[in-house]
Chain A
Amino acid sequence: MIKGYNFAFIDEYAKREIRRKILKAVSIPGYQVPFGSRELPIARGWGTGGLQITLSLIGKEDILKVIDQGCDESVNAVNIKRFVKATTGVSITTDTLKATIIQTRHRIPEEELTETQILVFQVPYPEPLRLVEPQESETRRMHAEADYAKIWVYLYENIVRWGEITIGARYPVLVNGRYIMDPSPIPRYDVPKLNYARTLYLFGAGREKRIYAVPPFTEIKPLEFEDHKFRIEDFTDKCCALCGSKDTFLDEIIDGDKRIFTCSDTSFCKKRRKNPNIPKSSRKK
């Protein structure tokens, strides 16, 4: 551990404030709670929102996993782990099922999370309505009045113009029938995992100074039309070149003039290579 710094870097008053804001966020699912986002030795836009949540919640007994785009070894994930480890001394794992807190950028792990875990998302743009309205004061009003006409029109115009909704990642969802929420830039593939999940999902946007949450067992509906349903990424006829999985989100890799695919979730891919029959969920059907 590095000397001269408080446990988990930020001062205890700041942690208390952040924990209180988290409680508020959990109480109003999908509502963006403003908070006094602190500067960290990690740059804005590199996960400082998620990191402040992690630092405020973490205790000596916790086991931390950090992933970036599904990968434990990605430079930014390594860097964040190094920082948390240096200021807390907690144990670090790559095993999704062993972690108590998982901080993530742009993915939800393939293996189903449980009641004993918290998934912390790094959020670049907390405001799902920014797409259709640049002014913060106006988007706050729109949320307050549930005035979501603009985004529905945007989706409709997308379909008219392109025959498809063009939003790739960061697909807007309706939380608990009330607030439209940005699920962070997870692929559409991960969106259904938010619905009635067993785990607490916390979202932190450092630069934009917002915290929001999806408590366990909350209804999450991606925005869709009766005659134009929400669709996830299509990996038909593709499988992971390393473990052979056909039911995971795949990264496309350019290999000479060929394209190959591998699991985005590297930890799960390793498990599957040892045992191809490992299920994604431990829940009894």
Chain B
Amino acid sequence: MGYVAVKGGESAILNAEKLVDYFRLKGETQPLNVKAIKEQLRLACDKVMSEASLYAPELAALALKQTEADTIEASFLLRAYRSTLSRIGYSEPVDTEEMFILRRISSAFKDIPGGQILGPTRDYVLRLLRFELLEERKEDKEKLFPKIDEDEEPPKRIPKVINILREEGLLPKPKIKKDEKPYDITRCALVFPLPRSGILQALARGEEGAMMAIAYSSMRGYGDIHPTLAELRVGFVPLKIKHPLTGEIVKVGDILVTETEIIAGKPTETGEDVPQFSLGYGLVFGHNERKSICMAMLDVTLKTENPKHPAEDQEFVIYHIDSIESSGFTNHWKLPHYVTFQSDLDRLRKIQKEKRKND
């Protein structure tokens, strides 16, 4: 009676849980320090926070530790934790011109007001394994940073590249509706067509790989958006909320974000007198340039009036980029399906029987 063994019951589950910890810790090394993960696996933590849509660096590091750096599972842990927190309000819109910039580039113009700031990037590094890191020591770290000058003045407010294009009438002016409430997909189920705030929210919490695959399909040939990267910036932005009692705007902290603005270089009717370019926008938690670029690309493709390709189809894109949903359902096929399979068997046998009888 083989399959009945699947009913392992409680003790089997408990033992499986123990085994997971055993495999996580059976090696010779000390248990990982969460702080070290937070500091040295910075980008993994950022990815987890972004896909979980919860800004909590330490908990993201914990989730990575607990899941042995299975980032999709780690995002899932953090997303689940998110459900335990009450929504007490919405922040004020973030002004990214106030960003404390770590990195800022534009591929649209050679020189831009405020200058190109390369910042921490591996874009131009030779992708060679650095074998010396196999034995990296504390002294090596000290040699790298002999002295850090903390008195340097923080950079000033740096204007946006797209504002120059807006002033020239090449891009449409933003239509700001005051006090418009965002469509919140964590509180309302998806409806189509989804308002843009809902689309941006879904993209901001989407899984990088899934988004990149779909955005790439559009860049490669299933669509034509002719993108140019107007500006990409990485840095800390102040987060402000309206105080629930006094009504005053107060700063509650800084968050690290990556912002991308993409120009779709195809003349479009934007409601102005003359055709203009259109804009795609990406903003994600943490330092994640790929995801931010893909978000901006998809923001462009999803505005296509008569969708022809997958990347242009709202339902196709929005329903399939959330890794918490897709990984959960993928894994559920491991659950027993013997009742449903019994029903299917019954149908096939009946059909076979009828067929044999008639032949």
Interface residues of A (CB under 8 A from B): 5-6, 9-14, 17, 34-46, 48, 68-71, 73-76, 78-79, 82, 105-107, 124, 135-137, 162-170, 185-189, 207, 209-210, 233-234, 249-255, 260, 264
A75 touches B8 (CB 8 A): yes
Output the least CB separation between B15 and chain A (Å): 12
Across-interface contacts of A70 in B (CB, < 8 A): 339
Question: Which 6 A-B residue pairings sit nearest by Cβ, starting from the closest?
Answer: A44-B328, A34-B189, A168-B343, A45-B332, A43-B328, A45-B329
B315 touches A135 (CB 8 A): yes
Q: Specify which of A38, A82, A260, A264 is in contact with B339 (CB 8 Å cutoff).
A: A264
Residues 294-316 of chain B: 1 if any A CB is under 8 Å from the residue's CB, otherwise 0?
00000000000000000000010
A-B contact pairs, 15 of them (CB 8 A): A5-B84, A10-B83, A38-B83, A39-B80, A41-B81, A44-B325, A45-B325, A45-B329, A75-B9, A79-B13, A106-B339, A137-B193, A207-B328, A209-B189, A264-B338
Tell which of A35, A42, A48, A164 has the most Cβ of chain B within 10 Å: A164
A137 touches B315 (CB 8 A): yes
Across-interface contacts of A40 in B (CB, < 8 A): 80, 83
Assuming the contacts A36-B189, A168-B346, A168-B347, asked whether A249 and B7 have C-beta atoms less than 8 A apart, the reply is no
A36 touches B339 (CB 8 A): no
CA distance A162 to B354 in the complex (A): 9
A234 touches B325 (CB 8 A): no
B86 touches A68 (CB 8 A): no
The reply to whether the CB of B91 lies closer than 8 angstroms to some CB of chain A is: no
Give the number of residue pairs across the A-B interface with Cβ within 8 Å: 170
Output the least CB separation between A189 and chain B (Å): 8
Across-interface contacts of B86 in A (CB, < 8 A): 11-13
B328 touches A46 (CB 8 A): yes
Assuming the contacts A41-B77, A75-B12, asked whether A234 and B328 have C-beta atoms less than 8 A apart, the reply is no
Q: Specify which of A11, A78, A168, A254 is in contact with B9 (CB 8 Å cutoff).
A: A78
Across-interface contacts of A13 in B (CB, < 8 A): 86-87
Across-interface contacts of B315 in A (CB, < 8 A): 135-137
A78 touches B10 (CB 8 A): yes
Assuming the contacts A13-B86, A35-B189, asked whether A168 and B344 have C-beta atoms less than 8 A apart, the reply is yes
B342 touches A73 (CB 8 A): no
Assuming the contacts A43-B332, A75-B13, A82-B13, asked whether A251 and B350 have C-beta atoms less than 8 A apart, the reply is no
Across-interface contacts of B193 in A (CB, < 8 A): 137
B188 touches A36 (CB 8 A): yes
B351 touches A164 (CB 8 A): yes
Interface set, chain B 175-197, CB cutoff 8 A to A: 184, 186-193
How many residues on B have C-beta within 8 angstroms of the other chain's C-beta atoms?
Answer: 57
The reply to whether the CB of B3 lies closer than 8 angstroms to some CB of chain A is: yes
Across-interface contacts of B339 in A (CB, < 8 A): 69-70, 106-107, 169, 185-187, 249, 251, 264
Interface residues of B (CB under 8 A from A): 1-4, 6-10, 12-13, 76-77, 79-87, 184, 186-193, 315, 319, 324-325, 327-332, 335-340, 342-347, 350-351, 354-355
CA distance A74 to B319 in the complex (A): 30
CA distance A34 to B6 in the complex (A): 34
A210 touches B189 (CB 8 A): yes
Output the least CB separation between B144 and chain A (Å): 40
Q: A43-B332, A71-B7, A75-B6 are in contact. List 11 more A-B contacts (CB 8 A).
A: A11-B86, A39-B324, A44-B325, A44-B327, A45-B330, A74-B7, A75-B13, A78-B13, A82-B10, A207-B329, A209-B189
Tell which of B4, B87, B343, B344 has the most Cβ of chain A within 10 Å: B343
CA distance A165 to B10 in the complex (A): 39
A11 touches B347 (CB 8 A): no
A253 touches B325 (CB 8 A): no
Across-interface contacts of B340 in A (CB, < 8 A): 106, 168-170, 185, 187
Q: Specify which of A34, A78, A106, A163 is in contact with B188 (CB 8 Å cutoff).
A: A34
B336 touches A234 (CB 8 A): no
Residue of A nearest to B10 (CB): A78
A254 touches B3 (CB 8 A): yes
Across-interface contacts of A162 in B (CB, < 8 A): 351
Residue of A nearest to B327 (CB): A43
Tell which of A34, A41, A79 has the most Cβ of chain B within 10 Å: A41
Q: Specify which of B84, B188, B331 is in contact with A46 (CB 8 Å cutoff).
A: B331
Output the least CB separation between A175 and chain B (Å): 20
CA distance A40 to B77 in the complex (A): 9
B344 touches A36 (CB 8 A): no
Across-interface contacts of B3 in A (CB, < 8 A): 253-254
